Structure 1
C-alpha cells in the first residue's frame, strides 16, 4: 500500500530520519513508538504524502487536532468530507447541515461518546473532548487508511482502549503514533520503535518484549 525506499526525511534541509525503507501492506495496523523528538511525526508526514501521491483516501488525525475552535463539534466533524463536494455545497453544509448530513455526523460523534457536546463550540471543550472530535471527523471521512499522530494522548485512559477498538473496526489499515505501549499491543499487528532519528526495531507486535521497550525508552 505504501512504500518509502531510501528516503531522507526532515525539515529545512536537516534530516530527521535517514535512508528510511518502509513498506506497509494493506490490512496492517502499525504502531509507531518512541520518545518525543524521535521522528514519529516526520515519518507520519512522509507517509501521508506517499498516500496522497497514490490517490488513497486517508483519514488524518494530526497531533494538534486541527479543529476550527469557533465552530461546533458537529460542524468540525462535517469538515471531514469537505473535499468530496464543491464550495457552494460545503458552505451550505456548514451553515445549515441537511438532516442526513447532521444525522451522519451525530452518529460518528456517538461512536466516540460525544453526542451531548455536538452543538458546543470546540473552543469550550476539554483537550480530551477536542481529540475525540478529531477522531469523529476521521471516522466521518472514512477511507482505506487512517494516520494518527498521538490521536489518543489527551483522552481519559479509561476511554482510550475503547476508542482504539473503534478505529480498528473502522479502517482496514492504520498507522498511529502512540504513547501508550499497552494500547499499541492491543491495537497493532506491527510495531516500529524510533529512537534518536533511527529505527530501533520493526517487528510483529507479539515480539515486543520488555527488553526492547527498555531499549526504546530507557
Structure 2
C-alpha cells in the first residue's frame, strides 16, 4: 500500500510544528524519518496514524484520505507503535498482543481461531512467545517493546508506523527489529535517531528540520557531510562495514568556529 503525505501542516496553539511537508512511501518500502529532537518527526507520524488531525494537507493510503475513513477501517490499514505507550492495567503480554485484533472483531464477538493464530505468529516473529503469560508491567523495556511490535503485527495492517522502535532495545535486539519489519512486506514509515540503523535498513530517508523536509532520497545520497553538519551539528566520517559493505558513519564534534573540517 502506498502512503502519500501531501502539503501537510500542523499548527498547535499558534505554533507551526510541521510546515507543508510532502513525502511518499512506496508499497513494501521502509521509509525513515530522521532529524534533530523537536524537528517534528513525532508530530508528522501522529498524523500518519490518526492520533492527530493536520491543520492542512492530507495523508492518503492508495489514494484514500486516511482521515476520511472510519476508525475501524483506518485501524485495519494502519498499525502504529508510538514513542510513549502508557499502560494502567497489568494485562498479560498475550492479552496486549490480542488487542491488535480488535479492528477485525465485531462488538462482543469471541476470539476466533484466526485471532489466536495471528497473535501466536506475531509473538513468534518478534521472539516473544515465551512472554505470553507474563504481566506486561513486569517486563523490561526491551521486552515491552517487542510485545508492542507484536501487537502491531497481529493487527495485520498494510502500513506500519513506528516512532523510535529501537528505544529500550539492546544492541542485538536493535539489529533484529528493523530486518523483522522490513521482512514483513508492509509499507513502513519510521522515525529513527540512530543514523547508522537508518542508513543500513531504510530504502529512503526524509530529513526534517524545524518542521520542514530539507532532503530526501536513498541514505548514501542524503547523509552527506554537509547535511549532517548543517542539520545535526556534527562532523561525519563515512566508512564501510567490513562484513556487509553498508555505509556507516562515525561522528565527532564540529570545531567551535563552524562546520569547516
Q: Which has the larger share of strand?
A: 2
The offset of 1:185, in angstroms, is 1.4
Max radius of gyration: which structure? 2
Distance 1:34 1:23 in 2: 17
Larger deviation, residues 75-84 vs 207-216: 207-216
Matched residue, 2:108: 88
Matched residue, 1:214: 229
Alignment partner of 1:199: what SS? strand
Alignment partner of 1:87: what SS? coil
The alignment's TM-score, normalised by the length of structure 2, stands at: 0.73
Q: How has the CA–CA distance of structure 1 residues 15 and 200 changed in structure 2, closer, same or farther, with 3 Å as cutoff?
A: same
1:15-56 per-position Cα deviation (integer Å, ceiling 9, x unaligned):
101122223332332101112211001111222242533656
Indicate if the aligned counterparts of 1:3 and 1:23 stay in contact, CA closer than 8 A.
Answer: yes
Distance 1:78 1:38 in 2: 34
Indicate if the aligned counterparts of 1:29 and 1:188 stay in contact, CA closer than 8 A.
Answer: yes
Distance 1:116 1:215 in 2: 45
Matched residue, 1:79: 99
Larger deviation, residues 105-114 vs 77-86: 105-114
Does 2:168 match 1:154? yes
Paired residues in the alignment total 212
The offset of 1:4, in angstroms, is 3.0
Where do 5+ consecutive residues of structure 1 fail to align? Answer: none
Does 2:4 match 1:3? yes
Distance 1:31 1:5 in 2: 17
Distance 1:152 1:141 in 2: 20
Q: How has the CA–CA distance of structure 1 residues 84 and 121 changed in structure 2, closer, same or farther, with 3 Å as cutoff?
A: same
Q: Which has the larger share of helix?
A: 1
Matched residue, 1:21: 22
Pairwise CA RMSD of aligned residues? 2.2
Larger deviation, residues 110-119 vs 125-134: 110-119
Indicate if the aligned counterparts of 2:216 and 2:222 stay in contact, CA closer than 8 A.
Answer: no
Q: How has the CA–CA distance of structure 1 residues 100 and 8 changed in structure 2, closer, same or farther, with 3 Å as cutoff?
A: closer
Q: How has the CA–CA distance of structure 1 residues 68 and 140 changed in structure 2, closer, same or farther, with 3 Å as cutoff?
A: farther
Equivalence map 1:178-197=2 (5 Å): 178-197=192-211
The offset of 1:68, in angstroms, is 5.8
1:83-136 per-position Cα deviation (integer Å, ceiling 9, x unaligned):
1112212xx44xxxx666444323321221212211111111111111111100
The alignment's TM-score, normalised by the length of structure 1, stands at: 0.87
Q: Which has the higher contact order (CA 8 A, sep 6+)?
A: 1
